[in-house]
Amino acid sequence: MRIVVTGKDGQVARALIAAGARSDAVEIVAVGRPELDLARPETIGPAIAAARPDLVVSAAAYTAVDQAEDEPDQAFLINEKGAGEVAQAARELGVPIIHLSTDYVFSGDGAEPYDEAMPTGPKSVYGASKLAGEEAVAAANPNHLILRVAWVYSPYGKNFVKTMLRLAESRDQLSVVDDQIGNPTSAEDIAEAILAIARHWQTAGAARPNGLYHFVGSGETSWCRLAREIFRVSGALSGPTAEVAAITTAEFPTKAARPKNSRLDCRRFATDFGHAAPPWQESVARVVNTLLRDRDSSPS
């Protein structure tokens, strides 16, 4: 099966390329700028068609959460209109789309983990643009699966795990918010989930599960406790470490508001696809190991 993923250098795209290289059953083709530019809608249909997908994975997005507050038009152009065009291109080719979305579509004001039926209420421009993207994808292609993930990290690109290790190279004390809780999710685990969906769809025939799904690392934590776990693993491998002081969101002002409770309930995914992510600590340890092993040999 030929899977076309949008975004060449994104975390999920790169993890999917790596997972595809380990599997004989799938071929991953990544399409990105300049051929496919979500901010230039006219490029999207031709770029997707030229890549000849059996399945489209829509992973490219405007992901700079704070910057989006200053660039709402650009965020919506990419995350809403661009996403809708990708879904439309898949529809015209008669193929399904798996579209990535986020926990930031929720307000985070509730006390329970969010399941797929719970009302959304984004607090940031990024979250609102991703929610509009979900609606655009669903409207453009009935053959869709929207996969909400959260707190994504990997050896690639920009993410919280890499930021913590980088800051600890030059500092011994960090302050990290302890009152935002959620589910750290490895891009590698997301790639495996996407391949599980693809495999399931190949055998499920007309009864393919589709629609809205949540998929995140198992267990839950705060950004502060995630940081401490990163340094526990790194310290054991003689990598960089720092003391992490627990602070409140009010003590770490940012442009965009973030949900306090970002936890996602993944039972629907587990039931329909028979697959769940490993405990978040296991996947964090794997990525920290990879980053420390590679740190002297390959700059990214």
Residue 273: C-alpha distances to residues 180, 193, 195, 201 (Å): 29, 9, 11, 9
Answer whether 54's CB lies under 8 Å from 95's CB.
yes
Rounded to whole angstroms, how far apart are CA atoms 171 and 166? 9
126 a catalytic residue: yes
Q: Binding to ligand TDO (CB under 6 A): which residues in 39-98?
A: 63, 65
Nearer to Mg ion, 112 or 296 (CB): 296
Torsion from C-alpha of 235, 238, 239, 241, nearest 10 degrees:
40
| Residue 174 DSSP class | E
Alpha-helical regions (H) of 149-279: 160-170, 187-204, 223-236, 267-273
Partner from ligand TDO, Mg ion, ligand NDP, none binding residue 26, C-beta < 5-8 Å depending on class:
none
Nearer to ligand TDO, 172 or 296 (CB): 172
Rounded to whole angstroms, how far apart are CA atoms 102 and 254? 19
How crowded is residue 131: how many other Cβ atoms within 10 Å of its Cβ? Answer: 20
Q: Binding to Mg ion (CB under 5 A): which residues in 233-272?
A: 242
Nearer to ligand TDO, 51 or 244 (CB): 244
Chain positions contacting ligand NDP, by CB under 6 A: 7-13, 32-33, 36-39, 59-63, 78, 100, 102, 130, 149-152, 157
Residue 165 in the binding site for Mg ion (CB under 5 A) = no
Residue 36 in the binding site for ligand TDO (CB under 6 A) = no
Q: Closest distance between ligand TDO and the C-beta of residue 286, in Å?
A: 18
Q: Closest distance between ligand TDO and the C-beta of residue 21, in Å?
A: 25
Q: Closest distance between ligand TDO and the C-beta of residue 161, in Å?
A: 9
Return the closest-CA partner of residue 116 out of 211, 16, 45. Answer: 211
Residue 172 in the binding site for Mg ion (CB under 5 A) = yes
| Residue 211 DSSP class | E
Residue 168 in the binding site for Mg ion (CB under 5 A) = yes
Rounded to whole angstroms, how far apart are CA atoms 259 and 181? 8
Q: Closest distance between ligand TDO and the C-beta of residue 41, in Å?
A: 22
Residue 176 in the binding site for Mg ion (CB under 5 A) = no
By 3-state DSSP, what share of the chain in percent is helix, strand and coil, each rounded to 5? 45, 20, 35
Which member of 104, 114, 126, 156 is catalytic?
126
Partner from Mg ion, ligand NDP, ligand TDO, none binding residue 168, C-beta < 5-8 Å depending on class:
Mg ion
Q: Closest distance between ligand TDO and the C-beta of residue 180, in Å?
A: 5
Nearer to ligand NDP, 61 or 226 (CB): 61
Angle at 195 between CA 194 and CA 196, to 5 degrees: 90
Catalytic residues: 126
Binding residues vs Mg ion (CB under 5 A):
168, 172, 242
